[in-house]
Amino acid sequence: MEPNRQSDWVARSLRSVWHPCTQMQHHAQGDNHVPLIPVSHGRGAWLYDHEGRRYLDAISSWWVNLFGHANPRINAALKDQLDRLEHAMLAGFTHEPVIQLSERLAALTGHQLGHAFYASDGASAVEIALKMSFHSWRNNGRGDKQEFVCLKGSYHGETIGALAVTDVALFKDAYGPLLRATQTVMSPDARQAAEGETAQDVARRAAADVERLFNERGDKIAAIIIEPLVQCATGMAMHDPLYLRLVRDLCDRHSVHLILDEIAVGCGRTGTFFACEQAGVWPDFLCLSKGISGGYLPLSLVLSREEVYQAFYSNDVTRGFLHSHSYTGNPLACRAALATLDIFEEDNVLVNNRARAGRLGKALAPLAGHERIRNARNRGMIWAFDAVGVDSAFSRRYFAEATRQELLLRPIGSTIYLMPPYILDDEEIDGLAARTLAVFEATLAGQGG
Ligand SMILES: Cc1ncc(COP(=O)(O)O)c(C=O)c1O
């Protein structure tokens, strides 16, 4: 067996690795075959396989990468950190990277939120926010507030608690008996606008649904969890910021916590560092992960309000938040995050992304106007397009065709979306838009229409 042959890596991976969110049989040869691509290395916006083929990472490797693969500045920070401290437990000990990161994140919220509590994956941050919400009510003598509310189509992760506040049947149904019952309210998805209705009208209707529920059982509800501005995993459903203002107000009036899950939409994806800035509101808990480490290392965290922190601050150990993960606040991950925040500041990223988004938006106009596309939409550095008249294998066939055209793009159902890293040059932007359309047309032709 020749070492490093592409097909060998595929065969070995299929024998030994159970790939995430995958029906493994789809990797077997056959009609519905989905390619498995062994990545040899990455550089900038591109991933390279072992045969020298490259793939433009148009979805930032599951929405984590911000400044390209093998970014020299993040690499340098990590190499420096490696020689200082790779890891130390965070109970009873602390270290520079975790302190600096916590201070800088609090400052980014104008010190509305702070007391960063760390974990590794997004779902763990959601678990922490849910537990903290319930426990802080309990510490304040409101142990009867035990229920959580989520939006229709919401996605907050795959662990048992996070899945309970997720509303994607494909991920949730099999585990129904294991999950806590959750209240689900209308999504503010602007695509639901009736004739003559605006996105703000939909936001008002959706907020009225929250009000109805809070009026009925607000005294039993601990928190509502929302992915602000874009519900990503359900297919990039976008809503008006007004919705967040209305819900914030309802939460204040009914004493319900607002948890904002900015795991996917944070770190500049929607145009501002935090999505909630566009609504001018702050939650009681803000969950962050994915892009915060630049897409380098697993890092997640929850920022919370002072009142929440105070609810746990006591002589009594059982009133404390006794949650932990072994790698909480890992110094390497925190250092990658600090290097990421440095790039935001030094390169004026949020401002420069506006120009990038303007160019990509223009370049995508032919796709937006395609006769088989509806609901072309954009917020910051996220674009989405709903394909009509496509079959249930559309997403898999589009992905396979995209890999043939040097593109990493995986539609969600019939929604084609782009969430690229913030480093594309003009040539890459134009090439990305042209290929997204070309792959769409080839996929349609492959389905016979
Ligand atoms: C909004 C949102 N919340 C939570 C998660 C879960 O994060 P992780 O996959 O890191 O557990 C995701 C992952 O895609 C997400 O998009």
Expressed as residue numbers, the domain containing 47 is: 6-70+348-446
Question: How many angstroms is it from 185 CA to the middle of ligand 1?
Answer: 20
334, 354: one domain: no
Query: Can you tell me the mean pLDDT for 174-186?
Result: 97
Strands 221-226 and 257-261: parallel
Atom of ligand 1 nearest to the CA of 62: 14
170 plus 250 within the same structural domain? yes
Last residue of some domain: 313, 347, 381? Answer: 347
Residue to mutate, 166, 290, 301, ligand 1, most ligand atoms under 8 Å from C-beta: 290
Is the separation of the CB atoms in 122 and 287 below 8 Å? yes
Binding positions for pyridoxal 5'-phosphate are 122-123, 261, 325-326
The domain boundary residue, chosen from 297, 322, 347? 347
Is 330's pLDDT higher than 70?
yes
Give the residue, out of 263, 288, 301, 419, with the most ligand 1 atoms within 8 A of its beta carbon, to mutate for a pocket test: 263
User: 370 and 249 share a domain?
Assistant: no
Q: Please work out whether the CB of residue 189 comes within 6 Å of at least one atom of ligand 1.
A: no
300 part of a folded domain:
yes
**Does residue 64 share a domain with residue 100?**
no
Give the pLDDT confidence of 15-36 residue by residue, as tens digits. 999 999 999 998 987 766 888 9
Ligand 1 centroid to residue 292 C-alpha, Å:
13
Q: Is 122 in the pocket of ligand 1 (CB under 6 A)?
A: yes
Least confident of 22-26, 239-243, 445-449: 445-449
Q: Which of 313, 329, 347 is the last residue of a domain?
A: 347
**Within this chain, do residues 143 and 14 fall inside the same structural domain, yes or no?**
no
The lowest-confidence range among 24-28, 150-154, 181-185 is 24-28
Residue 324 belongs to some domain of the structure:
yes
pLDDT-based confidence at 240, cuts 50/70/90?
Answer: very high
Residues in the annotated binding site for substrate: 62, 155, 290, 324, 410
Atom of ligand 1 nearest to the CA of 126: 4
Q: What is the CATH number of the domain that holds 407?
A: 3.90.1150.10
CA of 390 to the centre of ligand 1 (A): 27
Same-domain check for residues 80 and 198: yes
- The rounded mean pLDDT for the chain is 97
Segment 428-436 shows an average pLDDT of: 98
Inside any domain, residue 1:
no
pTM for the whole structure: 0.98
- Ligand 1 closest atom vs CA 233: 16
Give the helix/strand (H/E) hosting 359: helix 349-363
C-alpha 384 to ligand 1 mean position (Å):
18
- How would you write the chain as a 3-class SS string? CCCCCHHHHHHHHHHHCCCCCCCHHHHCCCCCCCCCCCEEEEEECEEEECCCCEEEECCHHHHCCCCCECCHHHHHHHHHHHCCCCCCCCCCCCCHHHHHHHHHHHHHCCCCCEEEEEECCHHHHHHHHHHHHHHHHHHCCCCCCCEEEEECCCCCCCCHHHHHCCCCHHHHHHHHHHCCCCEEECCCCHHHCCCCCCHHHHHHHHHHHHHHHHHHHHHHEEEEEECCCEECCCCCEECCCHHHHHHHHHHHHHCCEEEEECCCCCCCCCCCCCHHHHHCCCCCEEEECHHHHCCCCCCEEEEECHHHHHHHCCCCHHHCCCCCCCCCCCHHHHHHHHHHHHHHHHCCHHHHHHHHHHHHHHHCHHHHCCCCEEEEEEECCEEEEEECCCCCCHHHHHHHHHHHCCEECCCECCEEEECCCCCCCHHHHHHHHHHHHHHHHHHHHHCCC
Looking at residue 1, its pLDDT comes to 45
Instruction: Kindly state the average pLDDT of the residues 216-226.
Output: 98
Assess whether the C-beta atom of 263 lies below 6 angstroms from ligand 1: yes
pLDDT beyond 80 at 104: yes
36 and 84 fall within a common domain = no
| Same domain as 26, residue 175 | no
297 with 419, same domain? no
- Between the CA of 264 and the centroid of ligand 1 the distance, in Å, is 7
Which pLDDT band, with edges at 50, 70 and 90, does 176 fall under?
very high
Which pLDDT value is given to residue 28?
Answer: 85
Is the CB of 335 inside a 6 Å radius of any atom of ligand 1? no
Q: What is the pLDDT of residues 399-429, one digit of tens each?
A: 999 999 999 999 999 999 999 999 999 999 9
- Let me know if residue 209 belongs to a domain: yes
The answer, yes or no, to whether any atom of ligand 1 lies below 6 A from the CB of 227, is yes
**303 and 427 co-located in one domain:** no
pLDDT above 70 (res 164): yes
pLDDT band at 372, cuts 50/70/90?
very high
Q: How many domains are there within the chain?
A: 2
168's tokens: 């994607």
Please report, rounded to a whole number, the percentage of residues in the chain having pLDDT higher than 90.
96
Residues 95 and 49 in one domain: no
To 5 degrees, how large is the angle CA 64–CA 70–CA 73?
A: 95
Q: Does the C-beta of 232 come closer than 6 Å to ligand 1?
A: yes
User: Measuring from atom 7 of ligand 1, which residue has the nearest CA?
Assistant: 122
What pLDDT is stored for residue 29 in this prediction? 75
